[in-house]
Every structure is written in structure tokens, then in C-alpha cells.
Copies of this chain bind each other. A is one copy, B any other.
């Protein structure tokens, strides 16, 4: 049926589980048709909102369209859309920012309430009713399993040869009936290539022929390249002293410029036979696979720029042997991240001198995107890097601060902090030792004396495990809110 007919089947107030992860594999038409319908309902004076659950971020056709018309009451577990973000920060959308490995189980446990409708993009429907997954698996298995009703968007644009690339694990259960997840290598297959759905629940099938979000790939800038160089030097040193095997351990890489730069740096680095165990496979990892530096990678989604998508499509048989796409519950599972010993690299907004990390909030109150899977990997990985340029806003903001304005990753979970200035290896250090290393290695020279001054004065009074001056710990942020700059 048409997207408008399908959207008409979604009731006001429904919890709607949609596909989509990092701009890939989201439904392209039904959310827009739903937004149109909501706009008409609002024009007629009738309230109409839905709660939107996804894998992670989507695209303007989903988050943007529904947020623009005020059609979203609740949103979980991750978003990165500018219109949606504005609605969240205006207090109009209740946003639940959840570890990506926790979402499916919280839904299964009944902690999020019932799922009324699932809207899932697939590449095809087999004669026996099984579904060929799209470019993102995300939470699709769970949404299809638990939803009362299912709407399928069948997208004929992505390469049909992706069939067989997915590994959908059907061995999960609710405690006390859980068993070990028997995956011991990143691209080992432990499930099936297809999604199951009860045909009796399918209330609509909508054909589409639309591309995913156009994920532009920026060439790394100088700052990103410097951060990447510090990381690669460090990894080479860890190999040299025997704390990492020669081909390292499976890599997880967050999204963004710095992640791209690190992966680009690995192209010319001394490491071979690399493996990936990550959330999102982007251009950088595809290039490593193409060039033979990375043997294989596991992810929950593939999100490429236009040229990289062309390369992927043109050589799909090659990539299908080397890439496995899994549910995000598995790609990010603490059990697997710890067992495999993943090397986690994630971006942040700011770090404080004691190693606490803010990944989500601007000046303590405003949501940027969300924690995503960074906690799944940082807590459980073998090594955990958090990276950021040392300053933002043309130098008016230091990304190393006395105290972060929001904590997403605690001092207990941070091992290595990197800026273009340098790398702080925090392993085996107490808070005071960490502070000196972070100030010396990571802070921008313009801000270093101010951080040192804060730390020195904090060390001159009060309890000395984590010396703070609470009266001014957040004053840099407060000043920035008032003047646009952290500078006094």
C-alpha cells in the first residue's frame, strides 16, 4: 500500500519502533507520511504525537520530519538530528539517552512499555515470510518480535546482493534463561541471515526506492591528523612492549572526523590483519578492508558516503565475505566487547582533569546527540580512548576543564585521553597523578596555566584525593553561558 495508507494505521500515542542506525536502514516514506498526517491533525486542532524508538540516529526524513511537526512525544535511544535536538532542548520531547546495548533488553523486560507498531526497512521478503535486512540491523529483530503490528518498507535501491551479509542472533532470552553467547571471533556467525516476523502481524508493506542519509566524508583536518598520530604511536608502543598482539585487537571506532583520521592513519601504519568489532562501519573501515589492512569487520550498520557506497556496491561479493552486520544488542554486548578485548575509540565533548568524560551535554544542560554505544565499549574494552580537539569555538572553549558539566563516563572507565596536543595514559594512576598528566599532555597551551592554577589551589586546601574548589569548579562553563567564552 502507499506510505500514507500505512501511516494512517499508526494510532496517536503509539510507541513506534523504527529501523535505522546512523542514517542507514531507516524507513524513508512512512515517517514522512506520518508527519504529514500529524500536521493535518494538528491543523484540525487534534493532538497527535507518537513515541519513536529506533536503533540510533536516522535522517531528516524520520527524526527531522516528525520533530518539525511536533509529532514526537518521546524519543529513544539516540538521535543526532538538528530539528529533533532543538525540540529536546526546548523541553518538548522526552529524550531517553540509553546505552545502545541496553535498549533491546529493556524493551523485552517491559521497562519501556508495550511496542504498538514497528516500521522496519527491509530489502526483500522471502516466499516463506522471512525478511532480508537492510543496511542497518539495529534493534529490528527486537521490534519485529515484540511489536503488536508491523509495517514493512521494502527498499529496492540498496544492492540486493547484501543478502547473506547479516547475522541475526536468535539465542537471546530473558533471565533466568540466558545462555552464553558463543562468539569468540569478530566475524564468527552465530545466527541467521534473515529476520523473522509473524506474518499475521504485518499490516502494511510499502515499496520504496530511496537512498540512505548522505553521509559526507570530510578529509581529516590537521587537528584530527595530530590526534590520530598520537594514537597510532601509542598503539605501536603497546605492541612493542608486548601489551598488544602485532595485529592489535578488534577496533571500535566512533563516528566523526577524528575517527576517520585514525582509520586513515592505520592505512599507512605498521599493523596488518586488523579486525573491526564496532557499531557503524564507515568509509574509513571500508577503505582498510579494501586495501587489505583489515581482514574483516563486524558492525550493526554500514553508513557510507556516496563514493564509498559505489565502491561497496561494485565489489559487494568481496565485502560480503569480510563484513557481518548484527543486532546492536550483539555488536555492543558487554560480554562480547570484554571477551574480544576491543580497542575502543570514542569522541567526547570535554574531559576534566581527573578523567571524567562528558560525551553528551553542552554546558551541562543541552543535549548534543547522546551516549550511543560509547559506554558499552569504554567500560568493557581492552583499551579505551576518548578524543577531542583541545579547544572549541575558535579557542574560546577549553575541552579540558576543571570539572565536566555532565558525566557520561566516569574516572573508573577512562584509560587514555587524546587531543592534538598529546596523549595522556591514565592507566594505573591516582586522580592527582591523572590531573597532572592531562594538564601537561592534553590541555591547549592557552589554557594550561589556568588549569594548573586551579589544580594547584585545589591542592592547597581540603581533602586531597580528588582536589576540587567546588565554588569555581563549573565557573568556566557558567562564564561561557554568560559571555560565549570560558575566558575571564
Contacts and interface: CB of A to CB of B under 8 A. Distances in A.
Contacts of A382: 109, 175
Contacts of A88: 464-465
A231 interface: no
B466 A365 contact: yes
B478 A470 contact: yes
B410 A408 contact: yes
Interface string A462-474: 1111111011011
B356 A94 contact: no
A466 B411 CA distance: 21
A334 B338 contact: yes
Overall SS of chain A's interface:
loop
B184 A181 contact: no
B410 A410 contact: yes
Nearest to A415: B111
A176 B249 contact: yes
A245 interface: yes
A97 B412 contact: yes
Contact of A430 (B74, B245, B379): B74
A221 to B, nearest CB: 28
A26 interface: no
16 contacts: A74-B430, A88-B464, A91-B467, A94-B432, A99-B413, A106-B428, A110-B242, A178-B340, A180-B180, A335-B338, A364-B468, A365-B462, A408-B410, A409-B410, A470-B481, A471-B478
Interface of A: 74, 88-91, 94-99, 102, 106, 109-113, 174-176, 178-182, 184-185, 241-243, 245, 249-250, 334-335, 338-341, 356, 361-367, 371, 375, 379-380, 382, 405-413, 415, 427-430, 432-433, 458-459, 462-468, 470-471, 473-475, 477-478, 481
